[in-house]
Structure 1
Amino acid sequence: MPRLFTGLDIPSDVAFDLDLMRGGIPGARWIDRESYHITLRFIGDIDEGLAREIAYELDGVEARPFALKLTGCGVFGGNKPHVLFAGVEENAELRRLQSIHERICQVLGLPPDPRKFAPHVTLARLKDPDLTALHHFIASHNLYRSRVFEVPRFVLFSSRPSRGGGPYAIEESYRLQAGI
């Protein structure tokens, strides 16, 4: 039974820049550079038949390539932070692509994703982090801006059930097409 999600991979030079930020937060488990991505839709553990249906429907997605930029850092979890991330600049094409993926999953019988879409790249998973170090990290990297990069495709990823996800494998890659 595969554990699937759709997402965008991060260009290697942008991933390298993110990787340079690692460190300085006791209680942080840093994500490997090869695992950086932006999740569009977490699908979860599904049977092979549904996985094939999803892959088939994703092949029919019509969307144009678009430009994206990462910006700033933040945490999920409020007073008990559990994820440190790099944010994604607001982008209508990204939101459109995500809503198409959400619609495909729901049409195929999956429940709606209960979380509001908050595009980000996870940098570290946090377990009882040193809050002073965490706040210092965020303040030091709050002005981070990646270069603008093109998004030419989206990906169907799989992962093994594990603590914190990863490593991720690309199951299928779908080209975005200009002129649509």
Structure 2
Amino acid sequence: MRLFAALDLSGEHRRLLSSLRRPIPGVTWYPPETYHLTLRFIGDITSRPLLEEIDHALASVEGAAFAIEPSGVGISTLPARARLWAGVRPSDALARLQSRIETALRRAGLPAEKKRFQPHIALAALGGAPDAETIQWMQGHNLMRGTPATIGHFTLFRSHRSHDAPVYESCAEYPFSGGISAPAGMSVMPGEPGGFAF
């Protein structure tokens, strides 16, 4: 299964970011329900023992609730991964959380993440190089700001490929107070191996 750790967004932030959508040639907007802030891409995991190590590692991450705030927009033009995204105002709490997750996953046996962490929320895929209309959209929303929303947990997501849009399934939630809480329909036992669906 293809996994990543991320912050889910509040309904208010989803509504704000979805309000930025407009028809632009070559731009495919993601559904608002897929919006998230990736903390660590994990990748394809097929080994159950490694999956259990990842579960334990993420459950061990400590932290306190903090607020995130969407701020501005940007574009990534990496080959085959051109994206429009909303930025997130940097904070020490967010950086610490991401660093602790990275450290925990490396102790679980995953290789180090090579890319520098840049907090953002993917909004759309580009079919090619940004044109004048895309640049105009960016300029029009560069000063976008959201109100802060408190985050009390991070989530382990499973990614499914789809023809129309990515589909993300919540596998487990890890509250900052410690332990694991299960989303509806999931069987999760705090502190025990195999705490999420495999």
* TM above 0.5: yes
- SS of the equivalent of 2:21 reads coil
> Where in structure 2 are the equivalents of 1:28-177 lying within 5 Å?
28-47=27-46, 48-77=48-77, 82-161=82-161, 166-177=166-177
Q: Note the C-alpha offset of 1:164.
A: 8.9
Structure 1 residues 80, 70: CA separation in 2 closer, same or farther (over 3 Å shift)? Answer: same
Indicate the larger mover: 125-134 or 84-93.
125-134
Q: CA 1:62–1:80 in 2, change beyond 3 Å: closer, same or farther?
A: closer
Amino-acid identity (%): 35
Kept in 2, the 8 Å contact 1:7–1:157? The answer is yes
Cα contact 1:3–1:44 (8 A) shared by 2: yes
Residue 115 of structure 1 aligns to a residue whose secondary structure is coil
1:128-151 deviation digits (Å, cap 9, x = unpaired): 155101110001101100111101
In structure 2, the partner of 1:10 is 9
Q: 1:118 to 1:164 in 2, by over 3 A?
A: farther
TM-superposed CA distance for 1:115, in Å, is 1.1
Aligned residues: 177
Deviations 1:86-119 (A, max 9, x none): 0010111111110111112211221111211010
Of stretches 85-94 and 160-169 in structure 1, the one that deviates more from structure 2 is 160-169
Structure 1 residue 17 displacement after superposition: 1.2
Question: Structure 2 counterpart of 1:126, which letter?
Answer: L
> Gaps (5+ residues) in structure 1?
none
Distance 2:165 2:106 in 1: 23
Check conservation: 1:29, 1:126, Cα contact below 8 A.
yes
In structure 1, how many angstroms separate the alpha carbons of the residues matched to 2:31 and 2:142?
Answer: 21
Q: Whole-Å Cα distance in 2 between the matches of residues 54 and 130 of structure 1?
A: 38
Q: Partners in 2 of 1:171 and 1:88 — Cα distance?
A: 24
Partner Cα distance (2:81, 2:142) in 1: 16
C-alpha distance after superposition, 1:30-84 (max 9, x if no partner): 1111100000000000123211211122112110000111100000127998110
Shift of 1:177: 2.5
CA RMSD, 1 decimal: 2.1
Q: CA deviation at 1:166?
A: 2.1
Displacement of 1:160 after TM fit?
A: 1.7
Could you list the runs of 5+ residues in structure 2 that have no partner in the other structure?
179-198
Equivalents in 1 of 2:27, 2:141: separation in Å?
Answer: 16
Name whichever of 118-127 and 50-59 sits farther off.
50-59
Alignment-mate amino acid for residue 56 of structure 2: Y
One-letter code aligned to 1:175: P
CA distance in 1, matches of 2:18, 2:145: 14
Report the Cα distance in structure 2 between the residues aligned to 1:80 and 1:159, rounded to whole angstroms: 18
Q: Could you say if the C-alpha distance between residues 164 and 59 of structure 1 is closer, same or farther in structure 2, counting changes exceeding 3 Å?
A: farther
